[in-house]
Each structure stands twice: as structure tokens, then as C-alpha cells.
Amino acid sequence: MGASQAVGGDYVCVTTSEEPKRHTEWTFDGEAICVPTVSATGHGHASIKRIHYVSGKFSAATITVVMMKKKNVDIYVPYVYHYLFAHKDELLVPLMRGSANVSLNDVRLGKLRIPVPPSIDEQKRIVDKVVQARLNIESLKKQLTLAELNFDKEFSELRDSF
């Protein structure tokens, strides 16, 4: 499905956009990591700006590779997502080919190997720490925004008092 065919609906539709779109149909069911197959920065430049983790029923644009866990593999999919996200420039960008339309394909992506802690519990512990750190950052950003607004208000009142 082309990204422009997402017409709204009940199901997530993963594209190369930062925020997923919505669609009336789904083609996948389960946990997956969706990786764009085309460069995010344009003609002739190999770069991947974002990858997506999705769970449940969803569809994906044809310009993404959908990576799903094999049934016989004992792995925590969010661990793989966070690892790929943290190392996308070192792991994914070198797999992109082309001089004009730089792209990645599922064959090259399928050959990618990443280190995985042996236990699911360890994988979950690592993901929990990353998620908690990200939540802390977001909380601090909100506090900073509020402090800046408060400062602007107080400074404005100070200026107006003269």
C-alpha cells in the first residue's frame, strides 16, 4: 500500500512519517519493527530518520520493511527496536545502496545481526531503563518549558513595574 492510500480508520498505518497514519484495513497482526526502505533526507543521501515499533493489527506502506519475530525465536521485540533505534546510523545506513535513489531492501536487512542478552528478563530490564530515561527527559522538558513561561511572565511584570 502506498503511504498516500491511508484514508483514516481504526488501524495504525506505518509510513516514513514521524506519526503513524490510520487506515481502514490491516495486513499484519503482532509485534513488528518497521524500517523505511528509502532515504529520509532525499535524493542521493543515505539516512534513516526514524523507525517504528508497532503491536497489534496494522498496515504498512510499501516503502517500509516490516520485521516480525519468528515463532521459534525467544526475543523481546522492544529490545530489538530500541537497539536498532540507538544504532541506526551504524547498522542501517551502511546497508542502504544507490547513488540517486538510496534505498534499503529486506534481503540486506535480513542479514543484519545484533547482540541480544540471553534472557528475556535482561532484555526487558534494559528496555525499562531506556523507557524510564526517556520519560525523565520528557518530564524535565515540560518543567523547563513551564519555568521559562513563568520567567517570561515574572520578567514582563518586572518591566511593566517601571
Annotate the chain with three-state secondary structure. Answer: CCHHHCCCCCEEEECCCCCCEEECCCCEECCEEEEECECCCCCCCCCCCCCEEECCEEEECCCEEEEECCCCCCCCHHHHHHHHHHCHHHHCHHHCECCCCCECCHHHHHCCCCCCCCCHHHHHHHHHHHHHHHHHHHHHHHHHHHHHHHHHHHHHHHHHCC
The verdict on 102 and 143 lying in the same domain is no
Residue 79 counted as domain residue: no
pLDDT at 7: 67
- Residue of higher predicted confidence among 42 and 35: 35
Same domain membership, residue 121 and residue 59: no
Mean pLDDT of 3-25: 80
pLDDT exceeding 70 applies to what percent of the chain?
88
40 and 104 housed in the same domain: yes
List the CATH number of the domain containing 95: 3.90.220.20
Domain co-membership, 62 together with 131: no
Answer yes or no: do 61 and 20 share one domain. Answer: yes
Q: What is the pTM of this model?
A: 0.77
Q: How far apart are CA 57 and CA 152, in angstroms?
A: 46
**What is the residue-averaged pLDDT of the chain?**
86
Residue 36 shares a structural domain with residue 100: yes
Residues 109, 125 within the same domain: no
**pLDDT tens-digit readout, 103-123:** 777 888 888 898 999 899 999
C-alpha cell at position 33: 519493527
Whole-number pLDDT of residue 4 = 56
Do residues 107 and 154 share a domain? no
Do 125 and 65 share a structural domain? no
Asked whether the beta carbons of 122 and 75 are under 8 A apart, the reply is: no
- What's the domain range around 10? 3-73+90-116
| Same domain as 149, residue 112 | no
